[in-house]
């Protein structure tokens, strides 16, 4: 298996030509950034991902992280051989700091660039990338809600990567239902809190890659109200800092075991016990009772990051399948009677599978990078109305990206195995790791059902579809431009996009009405609606890509990339986008019989 190679050409296309790096680099915060810098960073990140992280991916899968009893008699985690070294190079190379603010020693580069770099880490080694995702999530939460003193204490070392972050939400009885969290936080005379309770499934809750771990823990104070309103958020460091800010004694938080899993073996999924030896010391972030609100900052950042995981894993699986299809010789060319044996890439059905992977992955990339650019505008524009509009669109698109990208990654990695035939099912070729790794992505950070309920119940209903309506208007304007371009290929794509937009609009009206009158009838079809939204929005972005490619060819470009992009956009329009019609039928269907069945029927 060759090492991962970053798809730099498509990344540059999406960043510069489709989404547009110029308006992002024109934002005051990114004055030092330009297209040249973006391309240089992409190349360097691609080298790191390909040379350092990619060779470790099968090692992490095979050997996994290990739990052991440490010198102090307590549990500790050792990551797979090479992970700690790679992490040291990662932090020393400044990669953790890339999207972080300069006032805390970050590089302050746009999210539009950071998302592409993060795609590379996820493609090359999903297990390794988790530590980056969680650390960035902790940084975002502290930036939003930490006091100045807290920021000064914790942020510089998180930004440099010297310390890493975690998200401590899940407990045995509290998974999707955060109201059930019952970890305790008791106030102490010195202003700190005594934290006690068990957290499960905590990613990188213990490891040997960094000097300290900054746990962000959701817990409940003794007199807090029940439900999510009673949750507060605390920093609980693995090692407590002394008065000079130096790392002191081990806090009373220990890893008692790690999970044995279907995939992401290199990423330790830990059980953490807080306070079995007197109580771990925690520090309140923000105000009491606002824990979930702050944690949502971290979760939204992580949801977009997990959406990018779907993209990264799907991209790498496509890369491996396309390499294999050019090597494996089997059968003859259907277009030549009595012809010689050919590589399977000549077979029309293998081409269909490869192009399904490619076109779908490109559409997800276009969506992920578009959302990143919207985040840049939402955070950095000096126009308040532009900031607010971008923020509203990011909120709408976050569950779509997370749910659609990760569900697609499961299908696309499975398709990659199909291209390998029997060799895909055996472990030797390595392709099966991607399907196993992809399988967690629609589950953590809120399952697809939770994303779909967020989309249908909050994002769509709270403004009766107003934010979606502005997006639909933009998509219809682009569709009209495509239809009027006077090119048969573009007209064909425009016709199919128009049908998809009608499906999305009609299905959203149905869903909004049902959310008001019969929420169960709406929620039973919320997941198909989320997929419909992703499919059509992806179709819109691929149609825009087709127009950019068409214009480049018309202007005389002989770059084969543009012809390939036209082919993948046309394929998306004819093979993937039409699924919106079936999904619309499902969203509009009557499910009263299903909902009326007794539990015993299942
Ligand atoms: C590898 C891994 C890493 C993880 N990392 C972390 C981490 O770092 N930090 C952390 O806090 N947690 C972490 N988790 C936990 C993860 O976020 C939860 O597993 C996830 O949120 C789902 O919760 P659950 O497993 O309890 O499933 P459940 O909540 O029991 O869900 C089971 C099923 O019921 C459905 N369901 C539940 N409630 C509803 C509802 N209201 N409406 C519709 N359907 C519903 C779900 O969609 C799902 O299909 C991790 C988990 C894994 C496996």
Averages of pLDDT over runs of 10 residues in the chain (602 residues) are: 95 98 97 96 98 98 97 95 98 97 96 98 98 95 95 97 97 95 96 97 98 97 95 97 90 97 98 93 96 86 94 98 97 86 96 98 98 97 97 97 98 98 96 98 97 95 95 98 92 97 98 95 98 98 98 97 98 98 98 96 97
* b/e burial code for range 123-138 (CB count within 10 A of at least 16 → b): bbbbbbbbbbbbbbbb
Please check whether residue 34 lies inside any domain of the structure: no
Answer whether 100's CB lies under 8 Å from 282's CB: no
How far apart (Å, rounded) are the C-alpha atoms in residues 468 and 473? 9
Ligand 1 pocket check for 447: Cβ under 6 Å: yes
Is the Cβ atom of 176 under 6 angstroms away from ligand 1?
A: yes
Reported as half-sphere exposure (CB side, CA atoms, 13 A), residue 580 has a value of: 27
Whether residue 156 is contained in a domain is answered as no
What is the reported pLDDT for 244?
85
Give Cβ neighbours of residue 360 (< 8 Å, ≥ 6 apart): 314, 408, 412, 538, 572, 576
- For ligand 1, what atom is nearest to the CA of residue 176? 29
Positive or negative, the Cα torsion across 351, 352, 353, 356?
Answer: positive
pLDDT at position 295 is 86
405 Cβ partners below 8 Å, 6+ apart?
307, 308, 309, 310, 311, 314, 364, 367, 368, 441, 534
- Would you say residue 6 lies in a domain? no
How confident is the model at residue 336, as a pLDDT?
Answer: 84
Closest CA to ligand 1's atom 27: 175
Please report whether residue 303 resides in a domain. Answer: no
Q: How far is the CA of 447 from the centre of ligand 1 (A)?
A: 6
Predicted local confidence at residue 568, as pLDDT: 98
Residue in 526, 303, 326, 311 with CA at minimum distance from that of residue 412: 311
**Encoding tokens for residue 374?**
């919207």
Of 559, 127, 575, 70, residue with least CA distance to 351: 575
The whole-number pLDDT of residue 1 equals 80
User: Nearest residue CA, atom 26 of ligand 1?
Assistant: 175
Structure tokens at 560: 């084969």
* Residue to mutate, 175, 291, 300, 522, ligand 1, most ligand atoms under 8 Å from C-beta: 175
- Where do we find the tokens 């709408």? 396
What pLDDT is stored for residue 91 in this prediction? 98
Q: Which residue stretches of 213-327 are H helix? A: 291-327
Q: Which residues form the domain of 584? A: 447-594
Domain assignment present for 231: no
Q: What is the pLDDT of residue 167?
A: 95
Q: Which CA distances in Å does 385 have to 343, 390, 473?
A: 55, 9, 18
Q: CA 81, CA 266: separation in Å to the nearest integer? A: 10
Structural domain includes residue 477: yes
Whether ligand 1 lies within 6 angstroms of the CB of 175 is answered as yes
Residue 207 is classified by DSSP as -
Specify the pLDDT at position 337: 80
Nearest residue (by CA) to ligand 1, atom 43, is 449
Residue 186 counted as domain residue: no
Cβ-contact 512, 525 below 8 angstroms: no
Task: For residue 23, tell me if it sits in a domain.
Answer: no
Structural contact between residues 206 and 77, judged by C-beta atoms closer than 8 angstroms:
yes
Total number of domains in the chain:
1
pLDDT at 300: 85
């Amino acid at each position: 298996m060759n090492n991962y190679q970053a798809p730099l050409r498509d990344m540059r296309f999406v960043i510069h030509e489709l989404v547009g790096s110029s308006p992002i680099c024109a934002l005051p915060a990114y004055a030092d950034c330009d297209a040249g810098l973006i391309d240089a960073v992409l190349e360097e990140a691609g080298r790191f991902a390909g040379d350092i992280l990619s060779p470790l991916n099968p090692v992490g899968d095979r050997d996994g992280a290990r739990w052991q009893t440490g010198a102090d008699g307590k549990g500790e985690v050792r990551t797979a051989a090479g992970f700690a070294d790679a992490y040291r190079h990662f932090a020393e190379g400044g990669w953790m700091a890339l999207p972080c603010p300069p006032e805390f020693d970050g590089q302050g580069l746009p999210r539009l660039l950071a998302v592409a770099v993060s795609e590379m880490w996820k493609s090359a080694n999903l297990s390794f990338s988790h530590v980056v995702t969680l650390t960035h999530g902790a940084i975002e939460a502290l930036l939003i809600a930490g006091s100045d003193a807290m920021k000064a204490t914790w942020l510089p070392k998180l930004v440099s990567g010297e310390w890493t972050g975690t998200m401590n939400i899940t407990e045995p009885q509290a998974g999707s239902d955060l109201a059930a969290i019952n970890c305790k936080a008791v106030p102490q005379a010195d202003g700190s809190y005594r934290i006690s309770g068990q957290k499960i499934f905590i990613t990188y809750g213990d490891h040997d890659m960094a000097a300290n771990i900054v746990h962000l823990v959701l817990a409940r104070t003794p007199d807090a109200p029940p439900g999510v309103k009673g949750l507060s958020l605390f920093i609980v460091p693995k090692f407590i800092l002394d008065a000079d800010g130096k790392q002191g004694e081990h806090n009373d938080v220990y890893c008692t075991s790690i999970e044995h899993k279907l995939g992401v073996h290199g990423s330790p999924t830990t059980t953490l016990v807080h306070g079995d030896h007197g109580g771990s010391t925690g520090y309140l972030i923000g105000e009491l009772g606002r824990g979930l609100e702050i944690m949502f900052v971290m979760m939204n950042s992580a949801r977009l990051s997990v959406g990018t995981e779907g993209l990264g894993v799907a991209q790498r699986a496509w890369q491996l399948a396309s390499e294999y299809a050019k090597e494996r010789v089997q059968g003859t060319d259907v277009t030549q009677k009595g012809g010689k044996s050919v590589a399977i890439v000549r077979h029309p059905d293998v081409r269909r599978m490869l192009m399904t992977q490619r076109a779908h992955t490109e559409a997800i990339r276009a969506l992920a990078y578009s959302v990143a650019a919207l985040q840049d505008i939402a955070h950095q524009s000096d126009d308040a109305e532009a900031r607010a509009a971008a923020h509203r669109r990011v909120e709408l698109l976050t569950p779509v990206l997370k749910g659609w990208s990760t569900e697609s990654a499961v299908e696309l990695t499975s398709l990659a195995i199909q291209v390998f035939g029997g060799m895909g099912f055996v472990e030797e070729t390595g392709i099966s790791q991607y399907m196993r790794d992809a399988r967690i992505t629609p589950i953590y950070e809120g399952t697809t059902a939770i994303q779909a309920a967020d989309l249908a119940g909050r994002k769509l209903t709270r403004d009766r579809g107003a934010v979606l309506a502005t997006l639909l208007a933009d998509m219809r304007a682009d569709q009209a431009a495509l239809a009027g371009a006077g090119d048969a290929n573009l007209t064909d794509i425009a016709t199919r996009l128009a049908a998809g937009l009608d499906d999305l609009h009609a299905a959203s009206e149905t869903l909004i009405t049902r959310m008001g009158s019969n929420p169960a009838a709406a929620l039973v079809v919320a997941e198909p609606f989320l997929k419909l939204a992703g499919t059509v929005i992806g179709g819109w972005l691929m149609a825009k890509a087709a127009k950019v490619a068409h214009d480049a060819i018309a202007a005389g470009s002989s770059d084969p990339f543009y012809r390939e992009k036209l082919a993948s956009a046309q394929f998306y329009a004819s093979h993937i986008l039409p699924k919106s019609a079936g999904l619309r039928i499902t969203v509009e269907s009557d499910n009263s019989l299903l909902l009326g069945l007794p539990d015993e029927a299942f």
